[in-house]
Chains A and B, each alone.
Chain A
Amino acid sequence: MTIVPGKTEARRRLQPDRSGVLRQIWQHRADYAYVLPAIAVMLIVIAYPIYYTVELSFFKTPPGLQLRDKTFIGFDNYTTILTSDVFWKVTWNTVVWTLGSTFFSFVLGFGAALALHRDFIGRGVLRAILIIPWVISAVAASYIWKWIYHSDFGIIGAVLVGLGLADRPPNFIDNVSTVLPSLIVVNIWREFPFAMIMMMAGLQTVPEQLLSAAKVDGASAWQRFWHVTFPHLGNVSTVTILLLAVANFNSFIIPWIMTGGGPSNASHIWITHIYELAFGRQRWGVASAYSVLLFLMLMVLGYFYVRALAGNDRKEGSA
């Protein structure tokens, strides 16, 4: 008697005998097929540029020649960068810019979130108003702030002189000492609503019962915040701070439009300096080496971000 295999048996025979990871991939082959186009696009627009940037960082690209006439120089571009005074100045600016912007944006955003978490008349309107800086185009905001800060006829200067608080308008962005703090203020103004929204979302997750129980037990407002609210916001705070740090590290528009990195390089941060090296001075090799270093820095921040997200997932899973 001949046994004719059924459909299921036939499909089983067709399946290769794979185990472990391969078996799982095979089982999810349809999922992979769905994301394949996205992966292909990412390979083209992300992976290849990264590869090309890394490659270019090992080449000398004299400004008077085409890019195809580049010459291999090994790690010389990295040596040039690390031994340059400008690099250390720009790095210091980047650290001050990133930490200053991130810290104050977070603190202000957190404060605003706590204030708006309470129920009061006009809360919705206030929330909408506070979000405005974040939704305004960064380019438009930069031009507006440039006029607000203008060293000769800026609004702040006019008000201070008008009120008799200053003899002449303060010099915000044409002075090497004040330019970076002035730009950081603009950046904080633009970014704190993001922190506010994130923290407001986080505050929704704090169990109301715990807060009520703490209140019944006689805990003060500060104690309730410190012992109940704040511990619940650990992960969302970490994610918010990391996202702000990554965005600030990469922030180009405000410093470039308002000062172009000047005066005298006092407001150049890595990203604006890289742009000037590449597009203004055509040192593609050196700019690529800078970009590789920036990429590594961002990868480190990205690692912590992913870890924070994974921590969140684990907590939610265990809950």
Chain B
Amino acid sequence: MTRITLGGAVLRGTVSTALMVSLMSASALGAPPVDLSKWSPEYVRSIAGTQDFDTAADCAKVTPLDYKGRLTFWYQGIFEGDPDLLRQYYKDFFETFRKTYPNIQLEDQALTYNDLLDKFRTALLGNAAPMAIRLQILGGTEFASKGYLQPLKPEDVGYSTEDFWPGAMKAVTWDGVTYGIPTNNETMAFIWNADIFKRAGLDPEKAPATWDDVVKYSKQIHDKLGIAGYGLVARKNAGNTPYRFMPQLWAYGGGVFDEAAANPTYSDVELDSPQSKAALQASYDMYVRDKSVPVSALTNQQADNQPLFVAGQLGMMISHPSDYDVMRDLQKKATGSDKDKAQTVIDNMRYGLIPTGPDGKRAVVFGGSNIHILKPEYVEGGKVDEAAAKAIACMWASPEWSLKMAYAGSNPGNLNGFKTKWMKDRLDKIKFLDVTTSMLPYGIPFPALPQSPEIMNIIVPDMLQNALTGAMTVDQAADDAAKKVKDLMGGL
């Protein structure tokens, strides 16, 4: 059991404060609509439902509601791991947009997280991109740095930069210019099955405090019950992998660069540091030494962990609050005795903060998505209908829709979303939302570098796979990954 000393507590407090300051520090010139320094579940509850917004009226100031135009729009949409509730909100959004702007001919196309970047890159090479796109937070910098995107800031669609998380604004800024508007921002939480904990001799109401505890708990669950302890994910080219491994890497004090620092410089590669190797070693211990995680972790993504969890075959995992709804959806589809088993799992679902590292550092990926507008020369037909593109950016990034489109799994990119009546409704209906909003201050954005997609989607998963398959030792895998990042940053 890890003992927390006074020094450790002070250090932990200092690190957490630094993280909070880095993420929440608002511009000195503007005041955000909510007081980020007071951020807590109680504060979020106190502001929910305190302000009304009229989205159509607000967006009419940007693009008149009778505007006639045409818009091609791609977006990172729902996938197999999302709950039905979210599907309905996506459907509602596009129906509402078409009603609000009846004269804009909208040609929208949904793509999954793992397919969007490849398809968008290919389209750009053929100057056949859409006029506007909603990309994952990881992708924007790559396209901004290459000159594909138009400058676009919240003020261009009727909002203020201070209306959005400072960390999210960093992710849409390249060379001092803003190229997008955040639509939603998210941090995940730690989920466990209290019944499995109890049967394995663990405290059912207490999440593992540290990542070392996760390793221990995972082994205990596996040894006592013969099922997988922790839902490790190490698939390549899948967003789920960095979202689950990076919090572990940062908690141990490691990183790809110094992205976990208050003011990252991204100058030194730290994947081969002792701290990063310790994080990789923890995964190795679970997968190879203890065999306490799913064997299929190398080809799994979170959508594969969900059926394992609802079947009572997995003790712990990292995910969104929406996984609670996903479990309920899966339970509805189950038959016979499986239905009851699934209900037992749902009744025993618990959410907690993501564990800390040995020094008390707690971290989580500050994720989300952003809307961007393309330059005309890269768009099919060579024209961008800016007014139409701004209309959809205004609507999606509005307090109303940035909340609704993140209803079950994420959080509104527009901070005003937390003040809407829908947030109040959401707090009552979405279980465990408090936990993920509590994780927001610990969120660390991916490095705002054009090379980030390759690092997170290929190099980091490769490092994990090389270590977990025994193709390399932990040291070799970390050194190899660090070299690849250095080569990449060196232009190779």
Contact = CB atoms under 8 A, between A and B. Distances in A.
Interface of A: 62-67, 146, 150-153, 168-169, 171, 173-176, 258-266, 276, 279-282
B299 A279 contact: no
A65 B146 contact: yes
A280 B457 contact: yes
A281 B465 CA distance: 18
8 contacts: A64-B451, A168-B295, A171-B295, A176-B469, A262-B236, A263-B469, A276-B237, A276-B458
A152 B308 contact: yes
Contact of A259 (B122, B299, B491): B299
Interface in B198-247: 228, 234-237
Interface in B330-374: none
Kindly name the residue among B298, B457, B458 whose own CB sees the greatest number of chain A CB atoms within 10 A. B298
Contacts of B451: 63-64
Interface residues of B, number: 40
Interface of B: 118, 121-122, 125, 142, 145-148, 228, 234-237, 294-299, 307-308, 311, 313, 450-451, 454, 457-458, 461-462, 465-466, 468-472, 488, 491
A264 B148 CA distance: 33
A174 B298 contact: yes
Contact of B299 (A62, A64, A176, A263): A263
Kindly name the residue among B295, B461, B469, B472 whose own CB sees the greatest number of chain A CB atoms within 10 A. B295
Kindly name the residue among A67, A153, A174, A261 whose own CB sees the greatest number of chain B CB atoms within 10 A. A174
Contacts of B296: 150-152, 174
Contacts of A282: 121, 454
A43 B162 CA distance: 54
A146 B472 CA distance: 25
Nearest to B463: A264
Contacts of B461: 262
Contact of A281 (B148, B308, B458, B468): B458
Contacts of B471: 176, 263-266
Given A260-B237, A264-B465, A64 B298 contact: no
A64 B491 contact: yes
Nearest to B291: A168
A66 B458 contact: no
Contacts of B125: 67
Contacts of B307: 153
B49 to A, nearest CB: 43
Contact of A151 (B235, B236, B295, B470): B295
A109 to B, nearest CB: 29
A232 B250 CA distance: 68
Contacts of B465: 262-264
Kindly name the residue among B121, B147, B228, B457 whose own CB sees the greatest number of chain A CB atoms within 10 A. B121
Contacts of B228: 152
Contacts of A153: 307-308, 311, 313
A146 B294 contact: no
A260 B234 CA distance: 12
A183 to B, nearest CB: 12
B458 A280 contact: yes
Contacts of B147: 66
Contacts of A64: 142, 145-146, 450-451, 491
